[in-house]
């Protein structure tokens, strides 16, 4: 009797689950159809390669026939014999991010504030500032190679020569290579500007009017209204900026020797991963490096989220 009862209860439970799933599918099938291209794309081009690289990180794999399991040998080599170079590339990457991320945040924010003013022709300025963002990376590389040509005939060196400043080596000199990369990264300020504009447009105009009636000046309105109500977008741009800085590799267009730069001044972790995979043909070690980079980015992102008390959410 108990067996029959248990079977009936179990069967009834399964029927209830099936009925629930059918009802949910009837209610949401259209939504799944709309997002299916994205879901399939993420599964094929993101999730599957991530799992595959995790497997490769435990193998000695050259991209061809050599595919031997070696356990944690890749990670032991990373923190052993190759630790000095790994520390160097992470140090370069962190230094680049520490300078580049705040600089981009501040300048793109101030740029958005300026083009948010109600003045004649401001839409044209917005277009011009955003235009570099849509230029392909290869084209941008060619443009900047001409601008920062280390010879005296380079565009920027010719400009500096007008003021009696000697020519700079830019990407060809170890002392100026990283600074040149940071300056070149400002080429994309227009992308951040658009996001800031979206945040600024959402600030109620009545707040500014009330503050103006109370006698608040331009700077008080900026620091007590504009900045606090922009903190959600500041937080978003901060997180994406950190992730982007940790994965930077755009200086490979300018740096010789596999993108390392003079005296390894431009040797970032993403460049090392590329070199290990496609130059040294050590896909297993490159995958191990990629997963360490993933963990570092995850930790930095988690720290950013844990310290987001300064972000205004509207619930305060």
Asked if 133 and 191 count as a contact pair (C-beta separation under 8 A), the reply is: yes
Q: What is the mean pLDDT of the chain?
A: 86
Are 89 and 48 part of one and the same domain?
Answer: no
pLDDT of residue 52: 94
Task: Give yes or no: residues 227 and 86 share one domain.
Answer: yes
Q: With 50 as the cut, is the pLDDT of residue 1 above it?
A: no
Q: How far are the Cα atoms of 11, 13, 72, 122, 258 from residue 23, in angstroms, in the given order?
A: 18, 15, 47, 52, 56
Retrieve residue 183's tokens.
Answer: 């300056």
Are 270 and 247 in contact by the 8 Å Cβ rule? The answer is yes
Amino acid 12: pLDDT: 59
Q: Can you tell me the mean pLDDT for 301-313?
A: 89
Quick one: what percent of the chain has pLDDT higher than 70?
92
Take residue 238 and report the two structure tokens written for it.
């901060």
Of the chain, the percentage scoring pLDDT greater than 90 comes to: 33
Query: Which two tokens mark 226?
Result: 């504009």
Quote the number of domains for the chain.
2
Query: What's residue 315's pLDDT?
Result: 60
pLDDT of residue 92: 93
- Do the domain assignments include residue 33? yes
In angstroms, rounded to a whole number, what is the distance separating the alpha carbons of residues 192 and 181? 18
Co-location of 246 and 136 in the same domain: yes
Tell me, yes or no, whether 64 lies in a domain: no
User: What range defines the domain where residue 286 resides?
Assistant: 77-306
The label of the residue with tokens 């009545």 reads 206
Query: Using N-to-C axis directions, what is the helix angle for 189-201 and 83-115, rounded to 10°?
Result: 50
Which of 50, 307, 263, 244 shows the shortest CA–CA distance to 169?
A: 263
Q: Give DSSP secondary structure letters for 234-298.
A: HHHHHHHHHHHHHT--GGGGT-HHHHT-GGGTT--HHHHHHIIIIIS--HHHHHHHHHHHHHHHH
- B/e letters for 93-129, b = 16+ CB within 10 Å, e = fewer, are bbebbebbbebbbeebbebbbebbeeeeeeeeebeeb
Phi, psi of 179 (to 5 degrees): -60, -35
Q: HEC profile for 152-196? A: CCCHHHHHHHCCCCCCCCHHHCHHHHHHHHHHHHHHHHHHHHHHH
Q: Would you state the pLDDT for residue 273?
A: 93
- Is position 35 within any domain? yes
Residue 300: band (very low, low, confident or very high) from pLDDT cuts 50, 70, 90: very high
Does residue 2 surpass a pLDDT of 50? Answer: no
* Residue 185, domain member (yes or no): yes
- Model confidence pLDDT, tens digit, residues 99-114: 999 999 999 998 888 8
At residue 9, the pLDDT reads 47
- Render pLDDT for 11-68 as a digit per residue (tens, 0 to 9): 556 778 888 888 888 888 888 889 899 999 999 999 999 999 999 999 999 888 888 9
Domain assignment present for 66: no
Are 124 and 27 in a shared domain? no
CA R_g for the chain = 26
Q: What is the band of 314 on the pLDDT scale with cuts at 50, 70, 90?
A: low
Q: Are residues 143 and 286 in the same domain?
A: yes
- Give the distance from CA 79 to its chain's centroid: 25
- Asked whether residue 61 is assigned to any structural domain, the reply reads no
SS3 63: coil
Q: What is the mean pLDDT of residues 131-150?
A: 81
The per-residue pLDDT for range 167-214, each reduced to its tens digit, is: 888 888 888 888 888 888 888 888 888 888 888 888 888 888 898 888
Q: Are residues 258 and 115 in the same domain?
A: yes
Report pLDDT digits (tens) over 236-260: 999 999 999 999 886 655 555 567 8
């Amino acid at each position: 009797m108990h067996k029959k009862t248990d079977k009936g209860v179990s069967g009834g439970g399964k029927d209830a689950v099936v009925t629930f799933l059918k009802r949910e599918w009837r209610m949401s099938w259209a939504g799944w159809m709309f997002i299916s291209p994205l879901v399939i794309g993420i599964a094929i081009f993101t999730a599957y390669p991530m799992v595959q690289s995790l497997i490769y990180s435990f193998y000695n794999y050259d991209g061809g026939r050599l595919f031997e399991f070696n356990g944690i040998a890749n990670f032991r080599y990373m923190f052993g014999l190759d630790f000095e170079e790994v520390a160097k590339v992470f140090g370069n990457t962190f230094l680049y991010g520490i300078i580049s991320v705040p600089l981009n945040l501040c300048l793109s924010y101030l740029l958005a504030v300026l083009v948010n003013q109600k003045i004649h022709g401001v839409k044209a300025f917005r277009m011009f500032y955003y235009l570099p963002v849509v230029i392909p990376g290869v084209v941008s590389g060619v443009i900047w190679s001409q601008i920062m040509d280390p010879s005296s005939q380079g565009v920027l060196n010719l400009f500096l020569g007008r003021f009696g400043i000697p020519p700079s080596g830019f990407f060809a000199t170890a002392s100026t290579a990283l600074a040149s990369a940071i300056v070149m990264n400002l080429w994309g300020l227009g992308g951040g500007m658009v996001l800031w504009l979206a945040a600024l447009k959402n600030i109620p105009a009545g707040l500014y009017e009330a503050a103006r009636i109370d006698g608040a000046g331009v700077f008080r309105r900026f620091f007590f209204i504009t900045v606090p109500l922009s903190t959600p977008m500041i937080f978003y741009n901060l997180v994406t900026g950190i992730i982007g800085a940790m994965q930077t590799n755009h200086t490979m267009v300018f740096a010789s020797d596999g993108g390392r730069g003079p005296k390894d001044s431009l040797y970032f972790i993403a460049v090392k991963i590329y070199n290990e995979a496609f130059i040294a043909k050590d896909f297993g070690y490159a995958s191990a490096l990629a997963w360490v980079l993933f963990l570092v980015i995850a930790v930095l992102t988690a720290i950013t989220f844990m310290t987001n008390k300064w972000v205004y959410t509207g619930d305060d």
